[in-house]
Structure 1
């Protein structure tokens, strides 16, 4: 899914493994990406889980975020409900790719994929409340805050709220037609 911005969503290749593992092993951003206790997997264990997920995708869809031929992150829709037509979206970027609009462009492309190609009616995500930059970026993409789970996450020594955000296909279409 190429665009004029240079950001492309594409399938993973073996050449992407170093960049993707660097994200998975980044303890500084663990809580932004994972709901559980920080535990950096070994490279071998991480690759094994990755290959298992790809072999049995269970309807989940994921892409590498590419900028000028270099993997800078990943994005995907998971926990897709085929009856209600909704799924949860997740995104992770390498530190060098953050704050440059790459995530915003990747999210726009992923939403188009989710609503047009995957025929989803609704997409949602969860973010820790202190991640104000991510919340702003998600709002920019059209997500609205739908609720909050109070003190639901243990983040760097204290409890934080989890903010749940979502976007409906009808809202996404209205934004596109403006």
Structure 2
């Protein structure tokens, strides 16, 4: 568990599973999917179908919940792009629109990246988004990430072409910035 005042990121517990289903799979077209990789299909799931595999999420190191004042509002995650585990990518989703634009995502991502640099031997943490998600790009910039790549016009959302955006942060950059903020 990592804490910033009333905001906590922590491993998923069994008690979170009902809430995660409600946030992620209950609705056919949830608001968050307009921003979270809308070029990938979202499929709602019945509670019964979700429960068949939901227990696999409990206690994982690579996906945690974002909790504010005791209520789960989203998730942070990571995965490796390569088999050698040199290319680490993170994700963050605040599933409820009424939690957006309050700094929660920035704080949660900062906690998550700090946790990953403390617990994993990675030299870089990256994030991939699309050019239509300006809020996500600003969050990444706020925690020190830099634009590393732009793959032009490869994401299509509502028949409009957008760029895929790769941002990243090196351990040494994180450590320098962390030392400044102490």
Q: TM-score of the superposition, structure 1-length normalised?
A: 0.84
- Preserved CA contact (<8 Å) 1:65 1:75: yes
| Alignment: residue pair count | 175
**Alignment counterpart, residue 130 of structure 1, candidates 105, 117, 132:** 132
- What SS does the corresponding residue of 1:174 show, helix, strand or coil? helix
Match of 2:13 in 1: 13
Measure how far apart 1:63 and its partner are.
0.5
Residues 58-100 of structure 1 show CA distances to partners (whole Å, capped at 9, x for unaligned) of xx61110011111011001112657453311000002122111
Instruction: Identify if the C-alpha distance between structure 1 residues 161 and 80 changes in structure 2 by more than 3 Å, giving closer, same or farther.
Output: closer
Match of 1:146 in 2: 148
Match of 1:155 in 2: 157
Unaligned runs of 5+ in 1: none
- The 2-side partners of 1:158 and 1:80 are apart by 27
Unaligned runs of 5+ in 2: none
Measure how far apart 1:4 and its partner are.
4.2
Residues 116-136 of structure 1 show CA distances to partners (whole Å, capped at 9, x for unaligned) of 112211111111102112111
- Preserved CA contact (<8 Å) 2:2 2:115: no
- The 1-side partners of 2:127 and 2:157 are apart by 18
Match of 2:45 in 1: 42
Measure how far apart 1:3 and its partner are.
2.9
Instruction: Identify if the C-alpha distance between structure 1 residues 100 and 40 changes in structure 2 by more than 3 Å, giving closer, same or farther.
Output: same
- The 2-side partners of 1:31 and 1:48 are apart by 27
Q: TM-score of the superposition, structure 2-length normalised?
A: 0.83
Instruction: Identify if the C-alpha distance between structure 1 residues 48 and 90 changes in structure 2 by more than 3 Å, giving closer, same or farther.
Output: farther
- The 1-side partners of 2:163 and 2:50 are apart by 28
Instruction: Compute the RMSD of aligned alpha carbons.
Output: 2.5
Task: Find runs of 4+ consecutive structure 1 residues off by over 4 angstroms.
Answer: none
Match of 1:63 in 2: 64
